Amino acid sequence: MSEPITVCVTGAAGQIAYSLLPMICRGNAFGEKQMLYLNLLDIEPMAAPLEGVVMELHDSSFNCTLEIRAFTDPMLAFKDADAAILVGAVPRREGMERKDLLARNASIFKVQGQALDKVAKKSVKVLVVGNPANTNALIASTFAPSIPKEQFTALTMLDMNRARSFVAQRAQVQPQQVKNVVIWGNHSKTQYPDVTHGTITTNTGTTASIMSVINDTPYLQGDFISAVQNRGGAIIKARKLSSAMSAAKAIADHMRYWFQGTAEGEFVSMAVMSDGSYGIKPGVVYSFPVTIKDGKISIVQDLPIDEFSREMMDKTYDELVQEKEVAMQVTAQ
């Protein structure tokens, strides 16, 4: 059995965490044999509900937790953290522009980045979930200069899971039969769900490209993309609440891949610091196809990019550049 690790989850009294924490405690994120010190962080007004969450986790008698601790101070919550899952953020409300949301959340992720820089392990693996997640990850990384930038990621696994599900339903297979769907760019309505590199293991056991199995390019370049981009809003409209359960599942998937690696021949989507791959200039957190081995994330190289994909990838990059400009202005104040 490996050494215990310390995991911190922010926004721990919120609805995403309420779905996520049981998954972590039963081993879905870090492994069933990985023992955890679980640090839960939320703001002071949520201290009482947070204690209730701790009570429920204790009452569930999970096998993976050595200790569960509640905090309202990030300097205490991030102490010696091996993994930090930054869920807590001001939610987007009706009528709020994305730039307004960014301005509200920038100060939160600046403070959390500074705290991580001071007290977390330099090897800490950081996943940002609170929106706008890509740019919030950039802010946190900027204010944690002693932690390598490649250890800051943002969640696009939810978008990837959604895309796989749509493909699976269309092809009448199970989602696990769909591989190598890519989410490029921002976790927003400009994201580009790309199936041109993906495969399906058919119900007869053969493997074929998604494009050939679906055989409907207008759908895959039209309604499919729109459906993935707008799925979060559709769920809010249907249940009057955000997609907490599927977000929690995606967070657990993201961390499981990061800690346990990807299978041979398979890649997944994570938003990571751009290194110039695929013409995306460094300096933004952009979703790429990645593989993971021994905890190291590597961007998959040399996938062919057609003209349609290039246009979509550039559009979502341009949005991230605009968000970065706003973020840097706000955090400089």
Active-site amino acid positions: 187
Buried-state track 124-139, b at ≥16 Cβ within 10 A, e below 16: bbbbbbbbbbbbbbbb
Q: Which phi-psi region, left, alpha or beta, contains residue 171 (left: φ > 0; alpha: ψ -120 to 50)?
A: alpha
Give the Cβ contact number of residue 155 at 10 Å.
Answer: 28
- 20: closest CA among 130, 104, 118? 130
Q: Closest by alpha carbon to 154, among 175, 117, 129, 177? A: 129
Other CB atoms closer than 10 Å to residue 198's CB: what's the count? 22
CA-wise closest residue to 187 among 298, 107, 303, 269: 269
158: tokens are 């939810």
